[in-house]
């Protein structure tokens, strides 16, 4: 028996996963335990959870795989430094970061005192880990594989072909050129300053027009081989130290763009300034430029390899708008994007890279994302009993329900326009709530977005909410058909259906769907089926179970979120917590 622990450490979205004989047992992001979004550092609590789920100790682990290798592309790094002579403070800062990242053994000893790790630690090149994380858990025996992100191990993109257990890397884009840096810089420029805010710009883009495309093409140039180059006069990251914080908290970034970008695009937006049509047009143009570069690469790769399947990874594979257009704007006919496409998912790829180097066979396809902690009904009952006075004082009542009553009554509550906290089974792996740590609503209600933002989410009004859809109903409601279990693709909603589901239809007529099957999530499938039977609509609105925090992990966190917000109903396993009509709102 072989146990391999995969880690994304010392970077944003720190995470851990564990494989037994090539089959994943557990995976989780550190943020879910420490309650700090995108937490960066060493994922000690995620490791602790994975070991517990596997029934193992650190001493039982044979291999630890990190999704970074300081030796990767070393000659290119040295040549670049000698040629470009960047700011010495930037070089020293990166050397300090490298020393920190080589300390995995010390971090393990500190986090697990008294338990000795006797196995091997492997560094896996960042983008090799990304490629593996997509291909080796995909349904494809043969596929083109692409990774695009900010930077990792001196590269921002890599691509190649996967056959069985092997991936042949055919090309890379090296520092300082990066589509991820381009997208992040424009996100900062528009005033979304926090790490991971790129999804806000993606949500804003449909409200704009491509009026800045001329300028965008001065920022990003497309190469004949499918790669891309940045106009480096408009950026800072390659020549001076950009303030970054990667350890022990939420990642922080200084400005990536230079005064040259301001001269090209005009004044930047400050975070507290109102959004104008100009900002929407900038967002639209940046998204269009990203897609232009992305599909330029995909077109070249299809011409080169003539394969129908593609697996996508890297932080840019979180661009669900572009992902949803792959079969429309490229010759590829099949697409797979795993549930944690960004850096967290590199933990999977690192572990599988080691497994396959050792001669291991491919394991099962990852067709669901439920790899996190779960809690028994007994644990939920004990929690509710221990906090019975607090629950009663909040004007709430608790009762147990059998399977039919649970799904039928919850479906009826959603159909009445109530906002439901839905906590079931194992927590999702990756950034999306996929029906186990979700807040649910009625997609038919035009006011549901406003109600959710008022009651719980308190987020920007332009950001869309997503539908969880019975997989078999997708062709009747969307213009494209496909299996989208991880909410990683945006599809156009059929024009005759858009008015029926305004709460999940974005301004451009699209929806970021999640397909739901009875095989992957039977209780969630039964709930949506019950809602369909009541309403003839085979979907519910689904957003993450949180309030300006990481998605809830434990029943106590779910109860806390329910009590401090204005949700109408909380379903914790087989227990229902309802607010009485005359109780506090």
Name the CA dihedral angle for 528, 533, 535, 541, rounded to a multiple of 10 degrees.
0
Q: Where are the alpha helices (DSSP H) in 35-125?
A: 44-54, 74-84, 88-101, 104-111
At 192-238, the pLDDT tens digits run 999 999 999 999 999 999 999 999 999 999 999 999 999 999 999 99
359 Ramachandran zone, left/alpha/beta (phi>0; psi -120 to 50): left
Tally Cβ neighbours within 10 Å of residue 340.
Answer: 30
User: Distances in Å between the alpha carbon of 326 and those of 163, 337, 341, 358, 425?
Assistant: 21, 11, 16, 34, 32
Q: Which tokens is 555 given?
A: 């029943």
**pLDDT tens figures, 425-484:** 999 999 999 999 999 999 999 999 888 987 787 778 888 899 999 999 999 999 999 999
Beta strands in 257-296 (DSSP E): none
Q: Which residue has the tokens 């004007």?
A: 395
What dotted CATH number matches 3-131? 3.30.420.40
| 100/287: higher pLDDT | 287
Strands 63-66 and 120-123: parallel
Nearest CA to 556 among 387, 372, 376, 377?
387
- In contact, 195 and 252? CB cutoff 8 Å: yes
What average pLDDT does range 479-507 have in this prediction? 97
CATH for 377-579 is 3.90.870.20
Cβ neighbourhood burial of 574 (10 Å; 0-12, 13-18, 19+): middle
List CB contacts of 218: < 8 A, sequence separation 6 or more: 231, 264
Q: Do residues 490 and 291 make contact, with C-beta atoms less than 8 angstroms apart?
A: no
pLDDT, tens digit, 9 for 90 and up, residues 34-86: 999 999 999 999 999 999 999 999 999 999 999 999 887 776 777 777 776 66
Range 361-373 average pLDDT: 98
Q: State pTM to two decimals.
A: 0.95
Report percent pLDDT > 70 for the chain: 95
**For residue 97, pLDDT beyond 70:** no
What per-residue confidence (pLDDT) applies to 584?
53
Find out whether 28 and 16 touch, Cβ atoms under 8 Å.
yes
CA distance 5 to 309: 29
Residue 227 has what DSSP assignment?
-
User: What is the mean pLDDT of the segment spanning 333-360?
Assistant: 98
Q: Do domains 3-131 and 138-339 have the same CATH topology?
A: yes
Domain ranges of the chain: 3-131, 138-339, 377-579
Give the pLDDT confidence score for residue 84 in this predicted structure: 67
pLDDT score recorded for residue 468: 98
Between vectors from CA 556 to CA 552 and to CA 560, what angle results, nearest 5°? 80
What lies within 8 Å, CB to CB, of 15 at 6+ separation is: 7, 8, 27, 28, 29, 30, 43, 46, 340, 343, 344, 345, 347
Beta strand extents in 82-179 (DSSP E only): 120-123, 142-152, 155-163, 166-174
- Residues 145, 134: contact at Cβ < 8 Å? yes
CA atoms of 212 and 471, how far apart (whole Å): 38
Mean pLDDT over residues 496-501, rounded?
98
What is the arithmetic mean of pLDDT over 114-143?
Answer: 96
- Taking 3-state DSSP, the helix, strand and coil percentages for the chain, each rounded to the nearest 5, stand at 40, 20, 40
- The span from the CA of 37 to the CA of 250, in Å, is 6
138-339 CATH: 3.30.420.40
Token pair 């994304």: residue: 8
């Amino acid at each position: 028996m072989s146990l391999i622990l995969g880690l994304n450490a010392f970077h944003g979205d720190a995470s851990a996963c564990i494989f037994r004989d090539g089959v994943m047992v557990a995976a989780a992001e550190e943020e879910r335990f420490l309650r700090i979004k995108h937490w960066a550092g060493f994922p000690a609590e995620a490791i602790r959870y994975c070991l517990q789920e596997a029934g193992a100790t650190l001493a039982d682990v044979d291999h630890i795989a990190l999704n970074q290798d300081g030796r990767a592309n070393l000659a290119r790094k040295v040549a670049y430094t000698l040629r470009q002579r960047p700011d010495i403070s930037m070089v020293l800062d990166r050397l300090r970061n490298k020393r920190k990242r080589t300390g995995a053994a010390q971090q393990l000893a500190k986090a697990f005192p008294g338990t000795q790790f006797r196995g091997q630690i492997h560094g896996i090149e960042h983008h090799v880990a990304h490629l593996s994380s997509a291909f080796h858990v995909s349904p494809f025996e043969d596929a083109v594989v692409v990774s695009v992100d900010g930077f990792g191990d001196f590269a921002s993109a890599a691509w190649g072909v996967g056959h069985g257990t092997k991936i042949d890397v055919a090309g890379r884009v090296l520092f300082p050129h990066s589509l991820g840096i381009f997208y992040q810089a424009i996100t900062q420029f528009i005033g979304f300053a926090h790490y991971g805010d790129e999804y806000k710009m993606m949500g804003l883009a449909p409200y704009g027009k491509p009026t800045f495309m001329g300028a965008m093409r001065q920022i990003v140039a497309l190469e004949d081989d499918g790669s891309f180059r940045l106009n480096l006069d408009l950026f800072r990251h390659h020549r001076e130290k950009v303030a970054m914080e990667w350890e022990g908290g939420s990642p922080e970034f200084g400005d990536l763009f230079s005064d040259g970008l301001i001269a090209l695009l005009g004044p930047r937006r400050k975070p507290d300034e109102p959004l104008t049509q100009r900002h929407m047009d900038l967002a639209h143009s940046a998204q269009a430029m990203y897609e232009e570069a992305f599909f330029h690469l995909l077109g070249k790769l299809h011409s080169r390899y003539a394969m129908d399947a593609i697996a996508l990874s890297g932080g840019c594979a979180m661009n669900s708008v572009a992902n949803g257009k792959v079969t429309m704007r490229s010759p590829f006919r099949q697409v797979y994007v795993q549930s944690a496409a960004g850096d967290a998912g590199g933990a999977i790829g690192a572990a599988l890279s080691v497994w396959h180097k050792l001669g291991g066979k491919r394991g099962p396809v990852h067709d669901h994302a439920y790899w996190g902690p779960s809690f028994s009904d007994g644990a939920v009952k004990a929690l509710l009993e221990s906090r019975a006075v607090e629950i009663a004082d909040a004007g709430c009542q608790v009762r147990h329900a059998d399977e039919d009553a649970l799904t039928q009554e919850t479906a009826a509550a959603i159909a009445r326009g109530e906002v439901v906290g839905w906590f079931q089974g194992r927590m999702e792996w990756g950034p999306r709530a996929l029906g186990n740590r979700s807040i649910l609503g009625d997609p038919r209600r035009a006011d549901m977005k406003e109600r959710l933002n008022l009651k719980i989410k308190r987020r920007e009004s332009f950001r869309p909410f997503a539908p969880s859809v019975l997989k078999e109903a997708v062709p009747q409601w969307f213009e494209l058909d496909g299996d989208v279990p991880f909410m990683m693709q945006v599809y156009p909603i059929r024009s005759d259906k858009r008015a029926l589901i305004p709460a999940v239809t974005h301004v451009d007529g699209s929806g970021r769907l999640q397909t739901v099957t009875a095989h992957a999530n039977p209780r969630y499938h039964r709930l949506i089926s019950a809602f369909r039977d009541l309403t003839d609509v085979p979907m519910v609105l689904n957003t993450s179970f949180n309030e300006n925090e990481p998605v809830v992990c434990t029943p106590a966190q779910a109860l806390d979120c329910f009590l401090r917000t204005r949700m109408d109903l909380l379903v914790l396993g087989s227990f229902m917590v309802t607010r009485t009509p005359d109780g506090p709102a």
